[in-house]
Amino acid sequence: MEIVYLAITLAPLIGAATVGLFGRRLGRQRSHRVTIAAVSLSCLLSLFVLSRFAWGELEPYNETVYTWAVAGGLHMEIGFLIDPLSALMMAVVTFVSLMVHIYTIGYMHDDAGYQRFFSYINLFTFAMLMLVMANNFLQLFFGWEAVGLVSYLLIGFWFTRESAVFASLKAFLVNRIGDIGFLLGIALLLAYFGSLDYQQVFAAAQAQPAQMITVLPGLNWSVITFACILLFVGAMGKSAQIPLHVWLPDSMEGPTPISALIHAATMVTAGIFMVARMSPLFELSDTALSVVLIFGALTAFLMGLVGLVQNDIKRVIAYSTLSQLGYMFVALGASAYAVGIFHLMTHAFFKALLFLAAGAVIVALHHEQDMRKMGNLRRYLPITHLTMLMGTLALVAAPLFSGYYSKDLIIEAVHEAHRGGATLAYWLVLLSVYVTALYSFRLYFLVFWGKERIDPHAKEHMAHLPRYVLRAMEWPLILLAIPSVVIGYLTVEPLVFGDFFGQALFVAEPHDVLHEMGRSFHGSWSFALHAVAGPALYLALAGFLSAWFFYMVRPGLLPSIRDRFATLYTILARKYGFDELYIDGIAASSRSVARLLWQVGDARLIDGMMVNGTARTIGRFAAMIRGLQTGYLYHYAFVMILGLLVLLTWFIGDWRGWFV
C-alpha cells in the first residue's frame, strides 16, 4: 500500500510541476487535462483506501518513508499515518479539489493566468495531503506552512489588483501570528517528550501527564495544557477563529474556485483536523478543551451576525464559513471529536457547493458580486438555483439534509458536556441556528427571487455566455449537491456512533458524551424525526420566515429597522472594529515606533554618528593632510630641514631628560 499512498501524494505535485514549468508549451487544454488527471488519480485512490477502511479490510499504516535528518537522538522524518481519520480527510480533500478543478475550466476560461492557476491548485492539494497524511510534527508543520504559502499565491492571484495584493499579504501575516504559537507548541512537546513522532509523544504524555512548566516567575502551568493552547493558537490562525479570523473574508479577492477550495476542504479545516489528531493530548487538559469550546462558540455566533449585513455574495458565504468552523471547534471542545470531523465532511460538500454556485452567478453576471444588483435569477440559471437551494437547506440544517445531522449533533453534544463554558457555548450555537437561517435565506431570496435588479450589460453578457462554460460549472454543482443531501443520512451512524474511527480519535471515558447520546440514537430516519422535539428546527424556521418577510413581503421595512438599530448595524458593518484595531491601531503604532527607532537609532546613531560620522571625520582629517601636499619642491625641502633640526636638537641637546 505504500506505493498507493505515495501516488496519492505525489500525483498532484507532479501535475503542478509539469504545468508550472511547461504550461505555455502545453497550452490551456492540455494543462487542465494534466492537472485534472493528477487529482483524479489521487481522488480514486483515496476513495479506494477509504472504502477498504470502511469494510474493515485495511489496517492503519504508520511508517517512515525516509529520514530527512538526524541530530543527536532526534530523527526528522517524512512518514505517513494512514488510519480512518486521515483516509476520510484524503477522500474529502481530493474529491472537492477535483470538483474545483473541473469547475475552473468554465470559471477561468478567459483568464490570462489559466495554466498558472491550475498549477497552483494542484500544488495546494499536494500540500493539504502532506498535512493530513503526516505521522510526525515536522511533516505536519511542512504541510501547514505549504498550504499557507500557496493560499498567499492564490488569494493574490490577480496581482494587478491592489485589493488582492493586500488581502494575500493580510492572510499571510495573520497566519504567521498563529504559526508562532503552533511552532512554540511543537517545540515545547519536543523539549519535554523528546520526539516529533505522534505516537511517541502521545505515549510519553499519557505516561507523564502532570509535568509542570514555569510560564512566568511564580506561575506554573501543566506542560500539556500550555502546549495544547499554543497548538490551538495555530489552529485559530489557520481555521480563522476570533481574533485571528480577519484574513478569511478578505481572501474573497481571489478567484471563486480557490474560495471554495480554501473554505471548504483544505486550509481552514487544517486546524480542525490538527486538534482532532491531537485528541490524546487535549483529553489530558480540561482547560485547553474549554478554551477551544468558548472560542469556537463565540466565533460561531459573532461571525454569523456579521454575515447579516454583507452585500457581497461571496463574503456572506465566507462569514458563514467562519461560523461553521466555530461549530466544529465547539464539537472538539466538547470531546465529540467524531462529530467535529463529521461536520467537517458534510460542510466541505455543501460549502463548496455554495461557493461554486455563487461563482456561477458571478460569471453569468459578468463578475458582479453585489446581491443588490441581482434578483429573479432562477429564470436564467435553473440548475444553479436548484443546487444552491440544496446547499442552503444543508447549511441551515433542514431535516434529512447532511448539515442537519452534523450540526444538530454538535448542539446536543455541547448540551451534554460537563465542562467550563459549555452552558455559554450551548446558547451561542443554538442562537446561531436562527442567525444562519436568516443570512442564508436572505442571500437566496435576494439572488434568485424578488424583483429583477440586473444591470443591462450584465444581462446581455449572460445571454451570450458560451454554453460550454456553464456546463463546466454545472456538473460540479450537481455532483456536490448529491452528497450535500444524502451523505449525512448515509454515514452518521458508522462515523459518529459506530467504530469507524477506532483508535484514531481518543476520548477519555469521563468525557465521552457520544456514548451517552448513542443510547437515544435509533437510526438516521428516527433522528430526522427527532428534530420536531428540539428547539433548533423552530429557530431555523424562524430565520427562514424572517428572511421571507423582510426580503420578499415587506422589503420597505428594512431602512427603518436599520435606522432604529443604527449603532448595532454600524458595529456589524465595521466587523466589530477588528480591522481598525489591527490596521489603524497595532499596525499604525508599530509603524510609528519603527519610524521613531529609525530616526533615533538608525538615522542619527548608526548612520549619523557611526557610519556617516566616521566617514566625515576621516574625510576632514584627510583634507587637512591633503593640504600639506602642495607639490612644490622647496616646501618639501623646508619640511625636511625642519625635521632634521628637530632630530638634532633632540639627540645633541639635553632635551631628552625633560621627557624621562
Judged by average pLDDT, the poorest of 66-80, 441-455, 546-560 is 66-80
Phi, psi for 451 (deg, rounded to 5) = -70, 140
Instruction: Return the C-alpha torsion angle 285, 286, 287, 291, nearest 10.
Output: 110
What integer is the mean pLDDT of 177-194? 92
Does the pLDDT at position 518 exceed 90? no
Asked whether the beta carbons of 312 and 370 are under 8 A apart, the reply is yes
Most confident of 240-254, 275-289, 356-370, 570-584: 275-289
Does the pLDDT at position 72 exceed 90? no
- In percent, how much of the chain has pLDDT > 70? 96
Does the pLDDT at position 332 exceed 70? yes
What integer is the mean pLDDT of 553-570? 89
Judged by average pLDDT, the poorest of 200-204, 380-384, 605-609 is 605-609
Top-confidence residue, 368 or 589: 368
What integer is the mean pLDDT of 489-495? 92
Segment 5-63, tens digit of pLDDT: 999 999 999 999 999 999 889 988 999 999 999 999 999 999 999 999 999 888 999 99
- In percent, how much of the chain has pLDDT > 90? 53
- Considering only CA atoms, give the Rg of the chain: 31
Bridge-partner residues for 197, per DSSP?
136
pTM: 0.88
Top-confidence residue, 186 or 642: 186
Top-confidence residue, 461 or 511: 511
Does the pLDDT at position 660 exceed 60? no
What integer is the mean pLDDT of 110-119? 89
What integer is the mean pLDDT of 564-580? 88
Band (601; pLDDT cuts 50, 70, 90): low
What integer is the mean pLDDT of 554-565? 88
Name the DSSP class of 340. H
What integer is the mean pLDDT of 573-583? 83
Does the pLDDT at position 608 exceed 70? no
What integer is the mean pLDDT of 107-116? 87
The per-residue pLDDT for 8 is: 95
Band (209; pLDDT cuts 50, 70, 90): confident
Does the pLDDT at position 587 exceed 70? no
The per-residue pLDDT for 249 is: 87
The per-residue pLDDT for 653 is: 65
Segment 144-176, tens digit of pLDDT: 999 989 999 999 898 888 888 888 888 888 888
What integer is the mean pLDDT of 618-640? 77
The per-residue pLDDT for 394 is: 94
Segment 222-267, tens digit of pLDDT: 899 999 999 999 999 999 898 888 888 888 888 888 888 887 767 8
**Cα(634)–Cα(639) distance, integer angstroms:** 9
Segment 426-483, tens digit of pLDDT: 999 999 999 999 999 999 999 999 888 888 887 787 777 777 787 888 899 999 999 9
Asked whether the beta carbons of 293 and 425 are under 8 A apart, the reply is yes
Residue-averaged pLDDT of the chain: 88
Sign of CA dihedral 88, 90, 91, 93: positive
**Ordered alpha helix ranges (H), 365-455:** 382-395, 402-416, 422-448
Band (294; pLDDT cuts 50, 70, 90): very high
What integer is the mean pLDDT of 397-405? 92
**Cα(304)–Cα(286) distance, integer angstroms:** 27
**Cα(359)–Cα(367) distance, integer angstroms:** 9
| Burial (CB count within 10 angstroms: exposed 0-12, middle 13-18, buried 19+), residue 69 | exposed
